[in-house]
Amino acid sequence: MKTEFENVKKEIGKNIKILRIHKDLSQEELAYKADIHTTHLSKIENGKMNVTIEILYKIAESLDTELSELVMPYKTK
């Protein structure tokens, strides 16, 4: 049975992936811009890794978005 925290990790990862794709960035490009390893980003996007606020901030900044966009449920426009 999944814990609520696991669901949150998956939601954050999904949001990052959606925003990355909307910005037409590869994982490699976003990882470079955020100064993190590609493997780290992949694990975050797949909800397999805990992520710090610092890393979330770097990712949000690299995607030209607010940190809240990464942690709130994604709303399609």
Domain positions in the chain: 4-70
4-70 is classed CATH 1.10.1510.10: no
Q: What six digits make up the tokens of 33?
A: 């811009």
pLDDT of residue 3: 86
pLDDT (tens, 9 = 90+) of the chain, 77 residues, equals 568 888 899 999 999 999 999 999 999 999 999 999 999 999 999 999 999 999 999 999 999 999 999 998 766 54
Q: What six digits make up the tokens of 42?
A: 């992949």
